[in-house]
Amino acid sequence: MIEVTLGKLQDIPNFDSLSKQHWDSFNNNNPSFNKEILSLMDVVIVKDKETPVGYVFFMLFPSWYYSEIWCQVDMFFLLPQYRRKGLGKKMFALVEETAKDKGATKLMSSYNIKLNLSSFSSSTGFKKINLPVTKRI
C-alpha cells in the first residue's frame, strides 16, 4: 500500500540509499546532503509497504520583503517507478496544506534546470517567475 505522510528526516531510514539515487540523477556520484540542516526541516514522505520511496523537504521562514511567512520547498525526489502516478501532486498538496496550516502565504521552489520539471511545476500550481542564479566563490 502506498501512502503519503508528513515526517522528519529520521522517518526515512533508507535516506542514504535514496539520496544517492537522487544525487545520481544529477550525474554526481558523491551525495553530500547536510543532514544537520535537513533534520530541522519537515518532509513529505512517500512509502510503499512502509519503505520510503520518495521525499520532498520544506521549511518555513519569515519573508525578508513582507510581513508574511513563506515556505521553501526543495529536495524533491521520487523513485522512477513511482512517477507519473499522481504521487508528486499528492506530495506537494500535503506540503501546501501543512505550510498553510502553519501560516505560510507563499510556496517557493527551485529545481535543477537540467531536468524538465516545468510541466509538473505548472500542474501543481507553481508559476515560473525567474531562474535562480548562483556563483561559486
Total number of domains constituting the chain: 1
Q: In this structure, is residue 47 part of a structural domain?
A: yes
Residue 115 lies in a domain: yes
Is residue 103 one of the residues assigned to a domain?
Answer: yes
The pLDDT value given to residue 50: 95
Range of the domain at 18: 2-123
Residue 44 has pLDDT above 70, yes or no: yes
Task: Give the CATH number of the domain where residue 71 resides.
Answer: 3.40.630.30
Mean pLDDT score across all residues of the chain: 82
* Gap between the Cα atoms of 93 and 115, Å rounded: 21
Name residue 62's beta-bridge partners: 69
Distance CA 8, CA 103 (A): 19
**Residue 66 resides in a domain:** yes
Tell me the mean pLDDT in the region 29-37: 78
**Domain-located, residue 128:** no
CA dist., res. 47 & res. 104, Å (int)? 26
Residue at 53 is within a domain: yes
- pLDDT tens for each residue of 86-136: 999 999 999 999 999 999 988 887 655 445 455 555 565 655 555 554 434
Predicted TM-score (pTM) of this structure = 0.80
